[in-house]
């Protein structure tokens, strides 16, 4: 009986530790995203990279739909989309 109680106790501690790490990592990720957003919003348009016909480009791998993507090994965040006559003309990243 003591072995079963010990096993359950150790299992409970392990689950609590793993949950704590998951919580801390998600909080850190949210903090980083907020910092990136403030940096991007304070940056001028001249420091952004324009992309056109981004949805037709085969070299682009989307990470988060229409928010982040990889292009030739570099990760970009979509900051602004420019529409012309209802068609996506370009995106600044």
Predicted local distance difference test score (pLDDT) of residue 77: 78
Per-residue pLDDT of the chain (93 residues; tens, 9 = 90+): 888 889 899 998 988 888 888 889 999 988 988 887 777 667 666 667 777 766 667 777 778 777 787 888 888 877 777 766 655 555 565
Query: Between the CA atoms of 78, 52, 84 and 62, what dihedral angle is there, to the nearest 10 degrees?
Result: -40
**pTM for the whole structure:** 0.48
Predicted local distance difference test score (pLDDT) of residue 28: 93
Round to the nearest angstrom and report the end-to-end CA distance of the chain: 61
Predicted local distance difference test score (pLDDT) of residue 64: 73
Predicted local distance difference test score (pLDDT) of residue 59: 76
Predicted local distance difference test score (pLDDT) of residue 27: 92
Burial classification of residue 28, based on how many CB atoms lie within 10 Å of its CB (0-12 exposed, 13-18 middle, 19 or more buried) = exposed
């Amino acid at each position: 009986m003591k072995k079963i109680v010990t096993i359950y106790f150790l299992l409970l501690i392990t689950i609590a530790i793993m949950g704590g790490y998951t919580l801390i990592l998600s909080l850190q990720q949210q903090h980083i995203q907020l910092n990136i957003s403030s940096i991007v919003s304070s940056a001028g348009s001249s420091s952004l990279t324009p992309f056109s016909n981004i949805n037709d480009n085969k070299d682009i791998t989307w990470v988060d739909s229409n928010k982040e993507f990889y292009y030739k090994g570099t990760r970009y965040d979509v900051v602004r989309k420019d529409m012309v006559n209802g068609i996506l003309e370009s995106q600044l990243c």
